[in-house]
Amino acid sequence: MADGANAILVRRRRHEQTAGSGTTRGALGNRPLAAVAAVFTLAQLVLVRPVLGLGWDEIVYVSQVTPHTPAAFFSAPRSRGVSLLVAPVASWSSSVPLLRVYLAVLSGLALYLALRAWRGLFPTRVLVVGGAFFASLWVTLFYGPQAMPNYWVAIGALICVGCFLRAREARSARAALWGVAAGAALMAWMRPTDAVYVTVPLLVLVLVRRHWRLLLVLAAGLAAGAVQWVIEAYVGHGGLGQRLSEASRIQGGLGWHIAVDDQLRSLGGRALCRPCTGSMPNPLVLVWWFVLPVLAGLGLVVAARARRLGRTLVPLACAATAALPYLFMIGYAAPRFLQPAYALLAIPVADALWHLVKTPGGTWRPVGAALVALGLAAHLAVQIAVLEGTVARNTENRRDWDRTAGALHRLGVRPPCLLTGHESIPIGYYTGCSSGATSGNNENTTPGDILRTADRLPVAHVAPAGGTPPRYARTWPVHRISDLDVRVAPRPRRDSP
């Protein structure tokens, strides 16, 4: 009996030691991922800087939840996810630097959690390089601290696909199932249509393999994220089909449009390429974009030889479907549109890079290591150069809006007020005015409503210098502000009693 009791105690101690060492290894494995996320956060604060003013789309999202300025028109394609994301700060503070710091820290924490979702599927060194590659792209650094949805779709995609693969391999892993639902909900919360494109391969796979529990979890996550957008479609847009149709119209009509060349032009730092004209950026700026699919293909070959094809094929398939509408279905481009695809490609690409650096037996390849190090250094230099130019241009553009707002204040256009015409949404936000449009994608008023508002409040119309004003503003006094013609409605003359 004594021997039996001793044997039980010995086995228990061994089990506890094994569990403890596994926990220690897990904690040590998370530290490099946390380091990548921390450097990413710091790089945003240093390179993009919290003083960068709000951009056009950010204004639309932030204005929905801040009490400091009127809400801008919210068009059919947009979703409320970003507005809710910034609400903890924007709902009580108008400080843009505070909002930037909040989003930078939050985006770094989100990257860490997204990379952790892939622990056990790939070695930690692969996840570190993959996370660093995605985080070092200029488009990731630029939009990480901004109130925009695409980075968060990318994070949701990483979490959803990583947890999906974990759940397939260990069907009793409850945490992985929660991760699938959370990632899908985050994507749909930010951009419902993007969430559908990303998850198409996952939905097909669970249907073919008849993983009904995983299908239910994935569908529930998508539904939870998109439910508000769907309800709003019926409340404010005449139904889901009508909202999708309106969203397609605003985006130029979804259909067969080859936008690959547009995306290439946008890689030079253009936030929005619509219409996308002009010359291509320097070839050095474009090299990484063409190397990316080659490395992804190599990662697939490496995975096949290592007998873990599914772990690489699934994220590559999701990256392809995520990129499909923005490469072949819309007639314009913005580099942020492809962020989910870049995030999903990053891990297979990192796997390929490690294969070029080390043999399967762990021996270094000196030539391969030198070439990869040189290529990554050049890539990082190019990304930082593009980022610096992008930040400088956007900083100046947003200062122009602020200077125009100051000039409008001097003309007597002060809150509460209404601004119409050219760039009325961003200039109106900086001025503290509501914005109105009688036509176009942001149509939300009529000439009659504008004239009636002018009887009560300061109203101004903004147009490029020398432009033809609308009929309702042709008799208003015109003032030149920089390269803009600003027509201010005369205040009605009120007879004293």
The answer, yes or no, to whether residue 497 has pLDDT greater than 50, is no
pLDDT (0 to 100) of residue 5: 47
380 part of a folded domain: no
Last residue of a domain, one of 330, 357, 384: 357
Of 346 and 29, the one with more pLDDT: 346
The answer, yes or no, to whether residue 18 has pLDDT greater than 50, is no
**179-232 residue pLDDT tens:** 999 999 999 999 999 999 999 999 999 999 999 999 999 999 999 999 999 999
**48-103 residue pLDDT tens:** 999 999 999 999 999 999 999 999 999 999 999 999 999 999 999 999 999 999 99
Answer positive or negative: Cα dihedral of 361, 367, 372, 374.
positive
pLDDT (0 to 100) of residue 26: 62
Q: Are both 350 and 410 inside the same structural domain? A: no
Range of the domain at 92: 2-357
pLDDT (0 to 100) of residue 24: 57
38 part of a folded domain: yes
Number of domains present in the structure of the chain: 2
Last residue of a domain, one of 329, 357, 385: 357
Of 369 and 15, the one with more pLDDT: 369
Q: Are both 69 and 210 inside the same structural domain? A: yes
Q: Are both 343 and 400 inside the same structural domain? A: no
Q: Are both 38 and 110 inside the same structural domain? A: yes
Q: Are both 409 and 303 inside the same structural domain? A: no
pLDDT, averaged across the chain? 92
Q: Are both 92 and 32 inside the same structural domain? A: yes
372 part of a folded domain: no
pLDDT (0 to 100) of residue 251: 84
Q: Are both 312 and 460 inside the same structural domain? A: no
Last residue of a domain, one of 311, 337, 357: 357
385 part of a folded domain: no
The answer, yes or no, to whether residue 494 has pLDDT greater than 60, is no
pLDDT (0 to 100) of residue 171: 67
Please, which pLDDT band fits residue 2 given cuts at 50, 70 and 90?
A: very low
Q: Are both 352 and 450 inside the same structural domain? A: no
Taking residues 263-278, what's their average pLDDT?
89
Q: Are both 432 and 315 inside the same structural domain? A: no
Percentage of the chain lying above the pLDDT 90 cut: 83
Q: Are both 81 and 216 inside the same structural domain? A: yes
Bridge-based pairing of strands 459-464 and 434-436 is unpaired
pLDDT (0 to 100) of residue 496: 38
Q: Are both 345 and 437 inside the same structural domain? A: no
The answer, yes or no, to whether residue 273 has pLDDT greater than 90, is no
Query: Where is average pLDDT lowest: 100-109, 257-266, 486-495?
Result: 486-495
The answer, yes or no, to whether residue 27 has pLDDT greater than 70, is no
The answer, yes or no, to whether residue 1 has pLDDT greater than 60, is no
Q: Are both 320 and 449 inside the same structural domain? A: no
pLDDT (0 to 100) of residue 8: 47
Distance from C-alpha of 396 to C-alpha of 402, rounded to nearest angstrom: 10
379 part of a folded domain: no
Beta-carbon contacts of residue 350 (< 8 Å; ≥ 6 apart): 122, 126, 127, 128, 129, 130, 133, 299
**346-392 residue pLDDT tens:** 999 999 999 999 988 888 999 999 999 999 999 999 999 999 999 99
35 part of a folded domain: yes
Taking residues 12-41, what's their average pLDDT?
70
496 part of a folded domain: no
Please, which pLDDT band fits residue 10 given cuts at 50, 70 and 90?
A: very low
373 part of a folded domain: no
